[in-house]
Structure 1
Amino acid sequence: MTMDMKEFAYNRKAHFEYTILETFEVGLVLHGFEVKSIKNGRVDLSDSYALIKNNEAYLLNCHIYPLQPLNTPANYRPDRTRKILITKQELKHITGKFQSERLTLVPIKLYNKGDFIKLTLALCKKTRKYEKREKIQKRDAEREIQRSLKTGDGGL
């Protein structure tokens, strides 16, 4: 039995906005038509985040747009709060980290594993503006060095 893993959504902003400390593979409680929409790529993770409340984890602001708007329930909201399926040990570990440090739970990617839709959650620390500027300057300097080596002018 082969396990084809197809990535449906990826949160590119997360790597720039946050420093990722740990990642967890979790499941989601979804409706049937939401699964179909996700498999067709109609999902957006860009502004979403996870929250722990009453010893349960929830995914907020994850937009799953209906594949067929006429066949969805009348009261369906694309950005509704979805329950995250996570083990008790992982939840206890994350809760302990939350209380001791100022960390955030951010979804990184949404993919399938067999017949199930899985979410990669990351325990992150917010990157400060000056750290982002340093990162951009370092990347630009590396590009300039590579460009000068490629052209062969030696930087002169």
Structure 2
Amino acid sequence: MTERQIALAQEVDLVTSVREVVFLYLRLAIECDRMIEFETCAPRVVAHGNRRAIDAVANLIDNALRAEPSGGAVVVLVGPGATVAVIDHGEGVAQAECEMIFEPFWRKSEATPGTGLGLAIAKELMDNMHGKIGVEETPGGGATFKLIFS
């Protein structure tokens, strides 16, 4: 059995797994004068894949906390159809950059912290599990990243 087959052979409860990631980021959020809100459409939402997919969620939360203005709240939503949305109210992503942000080493500017690998890794994880990742504008400003699991 290949790694890809193993990755798709497991069921992951997104509600439990994503809630655990949100919990891990709560302290950082508070230290940065931000909050994280967790919402779910059901007590259990099952996706096919493995726990490594949750690394993609962790990356999105980390990025959202950096983008969220001081005093604001990042919203993490586990929705129907095995989806996870991470919503911030920061500067957002320009339409022209929506595809480029998933390329390795891409950063908005030299002042942007990090290596520019986080979103590329998240995309690779989702691709390996036949899922999707995308970004759209948050109503009122900001970015909403969506993960769609198989």
TM-score for the superposition, normalised by structure 2: 0.30
Larger relative contact order, structure 1 or 2 (CA cutoff 8 Å, min sep 6):
1
**Structure with a larger share of its residues in strand:** 1
TM-score for the superposition, normalised by structure 1: 0.29
